Amino acid sequence: MSIQWYPGHMDKAKKKIKKRLNLIDVVIELLDARIPLSSRNPDIDEVLKDKKRIIALNKKDLADPQVTKQWLDYFSETAPSLAINSLSGNNVKQIFSLADQLTQEEQAKALERGRKKRDVKLMIVGVPNVGKSQLINQLGNKNKTRTGNRPGVTRGEQWVKLQQGFELLDTPGVLWSKFNDEEAGVRLALCGAIKEGRFDNELLAYKLVQILQESNPERLKERYDLDHLSPDTYQLVADIGKKRGCLQSGGKVDRNRVSKIILKEFDEGKLGRITLEQPPVES
């Protein structure tokens, strides 16, 4: 299942990020806690290079907490890392203290030269629909930026005045031009980073069910009231469709309808707190 999506405005956004980087003190790299590696844009990593950064795993309420802890241990080896929920605001304010710690040395040198303490300038980067606008609203305690439950809502860039002596440059979500890992494209689509219509709902639902058959079979059985799970994914989706009453005339399963239900319930966390990838294991 090959998924590709790279609108032209994303290439422009990447160039703007690179151009504005010299104005920034700390970058907040926002990742989806369910797919931390797949939602980490390698192009952005190349652009940021050695810029000071904070890694924030968002949507932690949807991810397996034990696996999230493993991911935090993994990322903390290279940058300060934390898990947050940008919708509820949980853990969000810790970003201020982490950014303050990262800039203490520069601020101290400025004070020694007789300069006034200036606002710390932040930039937030991440793939579409990872929760950037929600995070900015939480950091500023205001609703100044547009938000939406679909990728590609933030199309321009804007400075947002935050509390506690911080400013933040908002940027659009940026994907990369080609997914070298086909499964990464699938995971991004499952987690809402790719606009609907760029993939087949049925195939994507089958992929998700296949993943859950192996990793979380009991959750599938419990959620859809199934006595057993068919080893055949095609049949299992049909069984779920029958349980949910997704039937057409003649008793045929409406596979498009049940596929949308499965994808929606995963997105809303109704299938449980699920992480789709594990941290790399060092050999």
Q: Mark whether 101 and 144 lie in a shared domain.
A: yes
Question: Do 20 and 92 belong to one domain?
Answer: yes
Kindly state whether residue 195 falls inside one of the protein's structural domains. Answer: no
Same domain for 75 and 214, yes or no, is no
Domain tally, the chain? 2
Q: Is residue 62 part of a domain?
A: yes
Does residue 60 register a pLDDT over 90? yes
Give per-residue pLDDT as tens, 68-127. 999 999 999 999 999 999 999 999 999 999 999 999 888 788 777 777 778 899 988 888
Q: Are residues 163 and 49 in the same domain?
A: yes
DSSP state of 280: P
Q: Is residue 181 part of a domain?
A: no
Whether 144 and 13 have beta carbons less than 8 Å apart is answered as: no
CA–CA separation, 184 vs 217, rounded Å? 22
Average pLDDT over residues 160-184: 72
Model confidence at 47, pLDDT cuts 50, 70, 90, reads confident
- pLDDT tens digits along 188-217: 889 988 876 667 889 999 999 999 999 999
CATH number at 26 reads: 3.40.50.300
Residue numbering of the annotated binding site: 58-61, 85-86, 173
- Does residue 207 belong to any structural domain of this protein? yes
Task: Kindly tell me if the per-residue pLDDT of 176 is higher than 90.
Answer: no
120 and 241 in a single domain? The answer is: no
Quick check: is 41 in a domain?
Answer: yes
Confidence (pLDDT) at 126: 84
List Cα–Cα distances, 73 to 110, 172, 228, in angstroms.
Answer: 33, 28, 36
For 278, the 3-state DSSP assignment is: coil
Strand extents, DSSP E, the chain = 26-32, 53-58, 81-83, 120-125, 158-161, 166-170
Specify whether 154 is located in the same domain as 219. Answer: no
Q: pLDDT: is 282 or 59 the higher one?
A: 59
In degrees to the nearest 10, what's the CA dihedral of 4, 58, 259, 180? 20
Evaluate whether residue 282 is within a structural domain.
Answer: no
**Among 62-71, 161-170, 222-231, the least confident range:** 161-170
Instruction: Examine residue 283 and state whether it is found in any structural domain, yes or no.
Output: no
Provide the annotated binding site for GTP.
58-61, 85-86, 173
Residue 49 lies in a domain: yes
211 shares a domain with 109: no
CATH number, position 215: 1.10.1580.10
Q: Are residues 206 and 112 in the same domain?
A: no
For residues 39 and 164, state if they share a domain: yes
Residue pLDDT, tens place only, 16-39:
777 788 889 999 999 999 999 999
Q: CB of 166 within 8 A of CB of 119?
A: yes
Tell me: pLDDT of 233 over 90: yes
Say if residue 252 is in the same domain as residue 113: no
Q: Are residues 156 and 207 in the same domain?
A: no
Range of the domain at 204: 200-267
Mean pLDDT, range 217-246, rounded to an integer: 95
| 23 and 107 assigned to the same domain | yes
Q: For residue 115, give the 3-state DSSP assignment.
A: coil
pLDDT digits (tens, 9 = 90+) for 113-170: 777 778 899 988 888 889 988 998 899 876 454 444 444 444 456 788 887 789 998 7
